Structure 1
Amino acid sequence: MQDLIKDAFAQARELVLNALGQLVAEEVFPAEAVPAFNIEIPADPKNGDVSTNAAMVCAKPFRSAPRKIAEAIVGKIDTTGSCFDKVEIAGPGFINFYYGKGWFGSVVKAVLDEGKDYGKTDFGKGKRALVEFVSANPTGPMHIGNARGGAIGDCLAAVMEYAGYDVEREFYINDAGNQIEKFGKSLRLRYMQICGDKGQEIVAKNLDMDTFCKTIYEDTETFPMPDDVYLGMDIIAHAKNFFDEYGMIASAQPEEECKKALVDYALPKNIDGLHKDLAKYRINYDTWFRESTLHNDGSVQEVIEKLKAGGYTYEQDGALWFRTTDFGDEKDRVLVRDNGIPTYFVPDIAYHYNKLAVRKFDKAIDIFGADHHGYIPRLKAAMTALGVDEKKLDIVIMQMVRLVKDGETYKLSKRSGKAITLNTLLEEIPIDAARFFFNLREPNSQFDFDLDLAISNSSQNPVYYVQYAHARICSVIKKLKEENIEAKPFTADMAAALSTPEELELVKLMATLPTTITEAAKAYDPAKVTKYAVDIATLYHKFYNACRIKGEEENVMQARLSLSMAVKQIISNILEMLKIDCPESM
């Protein structure tokens, strides 16, 4: 796996350090330590392909003007054997390096030789990383926030795999605690409503499910629902299906038995629905981890005892408190209420302890909504108190998305008048667009998701634009084959034929894919990869419009065909990594 940008940076650094070493040995400059200096790709290509501020940072220790230092360094640089063929000085003392023809050819050859592996890096060193995302409560359908979290989490996991991590994907099922109690209460109330006189009148009408649910929902006069329950149509549908299967028998049972029967009936169906909806979204998890296992195997009680033994707890007003203020939190947190029931914080501690201390992942990465921002310090405090390195736990904060249709905010689903769900979203737009669009911005940024743009076949639609670049290259290759023109092995002569600004600009961007993958994994930001995909599609379309392939001199034609095939490979690698279709015709 080659990273030609990384190699170029290393060569530039070595050339500068060797030159400085000679200058110090010749006593041109004093024998002072060389400060850290930057090697980077300049924003303006007029300033070279690689640039360094080495002369500027050496001004103080060498007691000399940066420009003078730069001139001395450049005077000692010999680019023979390096990927550069020219070095210049700019401005107050920037040293700019320019790639030689051989370097451009090596990029094209590297892509063609590595094929599906091009872009992969060893940044992760095989470390085990667990990416937990979505983890929606199984008490109802997934909403638009889960749609973004799913795309970010799954694509981040893929990027980290490309960057050399051993990655597992996990869904945490909250099948215990207050939300399940609330789920059971909601189900029982709707079931009892259906079993009542007015409910039975509605049942006798033999309405379709959507109409039935809406009619029951609107019956607030004879059966008002309290505020502390779930009011979604899905609750009514579960209660109706349970009634259809078992009749009124459970209505005569004690309340807790009735609730348990309804939860035992509805919860597996909801969890199965999560599986199906996420699989449709091209998300498949390695593990579905149930919160209930932490209660059943004693893990919840174990972390309470560990925190007690460490001296991190105290009792007050009959409750057990965790001294999170010792770790910088704004206030201490309750672990066990005065009724003896642990708060939701305790199983969360046990779950993350399980990830890092029991299953021994090197990294545990959570995708959280913005409303969980304040939750991070107390989770990290708990890990530290339990003897786990809190740096192994990383939280990606994800902002919500505003859906826009016809220029207006789009909030309602067509069916129920309620907030749009993941499933209804995927009925509105292609899965490719959903996965790509949700990763167009870094997770912690808000943005408008334009539903009209997502379904449009235009260059304004970024995923269509990228897919079209791939299809365009496939069309070029197909047409040449029809005329018995096949790509030949890439040679140095072909490399020398790549000379136009459009060709060289495209090759330079191709070389940055491994660096982009590494940076995306380091920042937990898949948007860096989607942006790269749009950029390389843009430069290919620019190249295509400026540089003919068919009809050119043989060497030029073959060079441009090889360049096109390399771009095709890169786009294919990215789209397959993001689980987005890679069409050969459009």
Structure 2
Amino acid sequence: MELERPGDPAHGDYATNAALRLAPERRQSPRELAEEIAASMASAPGVERTEIAGPGFVNLWLTDAWLVDALAAIVERGRDFGVGEPARRERIQVEMVSANPTGPITVAAARNGAYGDSVARLLEFAGHQVEREYYYNDSGTQMEKFRASVEARRRGEEPPEDGYHGAYVEELAASDEDPVPRMLEQVERTLDRFRVHFDSWALQSELEGRLDEFLPRLDTYEKDGAIWAPSSKYGDDDDRVLVRSPERGGGPTYRAADVVYLAHKLERSFDRAVYVLGADHHGTRRWYAAVAQMLGYDPARIEVLLYQLVHLTSGGEQRTMSKRRGDVVFLDDFMDEVGVDAARWYLVNRGPDQTIEIDVDLAAERSQKNPVYYVQYAHARIAGILRNASAEQNDDLLPSEPLAPEERDLIKRLLEFPATAAEATERRGPQG
């Protein structure tokens, strides 16, 4: 059954198809059942009148008095209006961005942050306790290449071909300090400016030594000198190598780091662990679910959210982005061009399953062609109205009856907000 707002106000404030859905079960004609429903609803508090339409739809109109009372309740709740009251309040971890500190945060990584932070805010608004975490690899191959690139610049040489070539590498080389902590400080400053904040930071190096602690729980086996996880038994596409054979250099693989980090998440008593990852990690859903089961956890506690790529255009041409080549677009530069509000807006105004193409010229434009500017202008006008109303010290700001059509429409839209927020939380995204 559905209760919805008709597109045409002439069809009522709300309409329901209950009679059409229930008629077969009740063994009545939809029209006959609609008459019973309409008669019952007509006597309900706040209902002005009802009407039967078509084969069995019921339209209803609310009284002005009921709408004014509803608005008063909204005003009384203030910022708490629409906040969820879940039957069970969950403790949820949202891990996002998690880019290795081999350079400044890019616009591509910023989509992860904008999307993940939006999901975290929605979950909090729904009444859950949320912890945001940033996980990064402070060791391993990419970090070695990053340090080697900085060292090469310090010697006045070109970085390795497969290293990092951006101007930021030359800036880091001007100091004798370890480039990794300096890069992390810059990453945190950038994300703070982007209004994405973290409660905890997890380092892969601090977890690496715990692999032996979890291997016995995985029912691993040895093949070709390597240690394998039997993940295909638990829904994964294949079994996965956790420790390489001596012929391949030995040592744990990145899959082993996945095992340790997932265990580290769930042993901290999170009811749910949310990963925010690029679409190229689509296979990790089955892998993470398998790891959870092998460790003895409910795989339903793991949630993987994926998002597509970001393309920037300017002057009709697409900007290329590659951190290693050094022709990447960094988030700080993007925010300098368009502002923080526009940067966040354009990185979440499409669903995560859609590739985003951002016209930087439009995003920076201060006109009503730019939806961000339009919303900012509307917000400024509303804030001005509220300031003026406060200055008049008018305690009763509620509209008087009879309500104008615009007032009725605005109140009804406000009443939709709790359901809209709940739906956004359910689909894990703020997009309409």
Q: What TM-score, normalized by structure 2, do the two folds share?
A: 0.91
Q: Is the 8 A contact 1:86 1:99 kept in 2?
A: yes
Q: Which residue of 2 aligns with 1:232?
A: 166
Task: Specify which of 172, 184, 189 is matched with residue 135 of structure 2.
Answer: 172
The reply to whether residue 54 of structure 1 matches residue 15 of structure 2 is no
> Which residue identity does 1:511 align to in structure 2?
L
Tell me the SS of whatever aligns to 1:512.
helix
The reply to whether residue 99 of structure 1 matches residue 62 of structure 2 is yes
Q: Is the 8 A contact 1:304 1:346 kept in 2?
A: no
The reply to whether residue 322 of structure 1 matches residue 322 of structure 2 is no
Q: Which residue of 2 aligns with 1:497?
A: 402
Deviation at 1:379, TM superposition (A): 1.0
Distance 1:506 1:294 in 2: 53
Q: Which residue of 1 aligns with 2:191?
A: 278
Deviation at 1:381, TM superposition (A): 0.9
After superposition, the Cα gap between the structure-2 partners of 1:332 and 1:63, relative to the gap in structure 1 and judged at 3 Å, is same
The reply to whether residue 66 of structure 1 matches residue 30 of structure 2 is yes
After superposition, the Cα gap between the structure-2 partners of 1:524 and 1:63, relative to the gap in structure 1 and judged at 3 Å, is same
Q: Is the 8 A contact 1:364 1:394 kept in 2?
A: yes
Q: Is the 8 A contact 2:82 2:417 kept in 1?
A: yes
Task: Specify which of 259, 269, 273 is matched with residue 364 of structure 1.
Answer: 273
Q: What is the aligned-residue identity percentage?
A: 38
Q: Is the 8 A contact 2:164 2:326 kept in 1?
A: no
**What is the correspondence of 1:289-300 to structure 2 with a 5 Å cutoff?**
289-296=202-209, 298=210, 300=211
After superposition, the Cα gap between the structure-2 partners of 1:430 and 1:180, relative to the gap in structure 1 and judged at 3 Å, is same
After superposition, the Cα gap between the structure-2 partners of 1:95 and 1:306, relative to the gap in structure 1 and judged at 3 Å, is same
Distance 1:402 1:70 in 2: 52
Encode CA deviations 1:55-89: one digit per residue, 9 max, x unaligned: 222232333322222223324x1543523222222
Distance 1:486 1:527 in 2: 37
Q: Which residue of 1 aligns with 2:361?
A: 452
Q: Which residue of 1 aligns with 2:179?
A: 266
Q: Which residue of 2 aligns with 1:351?
A: 261
> Which residue identity does 1:498 align to in structure 2?
L
Deviation at 1:496, TM superposition (A): 1.8
In structure 2, list runs of 5 or more residues that go unmatched.
none
Deviation at 1:481, TM superposition (A): 7.2
**What is the correspondence of 1:152-551 to structure 2 with a 5 Å cutoff?**
152-191=115-154, 194=155, 199=156, 217=158, 225-227=160-162, 229-242=163-176, 265-296=178-209, 298=210, 300-308=211-219, 313-339=220-246, 340-356=250-266, 358-411=267-320, 418-477=327-386, 485-490=392-397, 494-500=399-405, 502-528=406-432
In structure 1, list runs of 5 or more residues that go unmatched.
1-36, 200-215, 218-223, 246-264, 529-586
Distance 1:479 1:226 in 2: 62
Distance 1:457 1:124 in 2: 44
Encode CA deviations 1:447-476: one digit per residue, 9 max, x unaligned: 221212222222232222222122213334
Deviation at 1:327, TM superposition (A): 2.4
> Which residue identity does 1:278 align to in structure 2?
L
Deviation at 1:42, TM superposition (A): 3.9
Q: Is the 8 A contact 1:397 1:443 kept in 2?
A: yes
Deviation at 1:486, TM superposition (A): 4.1
Deviation at 1:124, TM superposition (A): 7.2
Distance 2:234 2:212 in 1: 22
Tell me the SS of whatever aligns to 2:379.
helix
**What is the correspondence of 1:10-89 to structure 2 with a 5 Å cutoff?**
37-75=1-39, 77-89=40-52
Instruction: State the superposition RMSD in angstroms.
Output: 2.5
Tell me the SS of whatever aligns to 1:110.
helix
Q: Is the 8 A contact 2:41 2:50 kept in 1?
A: no
**What is the correspondence of 1:557-572 to structure 2 with a 5 Å cutoff?**
none
Q: Is the 8 A contact 2:137 2:203 kept in 1?
A: yes
Encode CA deviations 1:454-510: one digit per residue, 9 max, x unaligned: 22222232222222122213334556678xx4433256xx3423222x222221111
Q: Is the 8 A contact 1:124 1:160 kept in 2?
A: no
Distance 2:385 2:161 in 1: 64
Deviation at 1:332, TM superposition (A): 1.7
Q: Is the 8 A contact 2:147 2:179 kept in 1?
A: no
Encode CA deviations 1:518-571: one digit per residue, 9 max, x unaligned: 11112110234xxxxxxxxxxxxxxxxxxxxxxxxxxxxxxxxxxxxxxxxxxx
Tell me the SS of whatever aligns to 2:414.
helix
Deviation at 1:190, TM superposition (A): 4.1
Q: Is the 8 A contact 2:167 2:326 kept in 1?
A: no
Deviation at 1:45, TM superposition (A): 4.0
Distance 2:260 2:10 in 1: 55
Aligned residues: 427
Tell me the SS of whatever aligns to 1:487.
coil
Q: Is the 8 A contact 1:335 1:342 kept in 2?
A: yes
Distance 1:188 1:481 in 2: 61
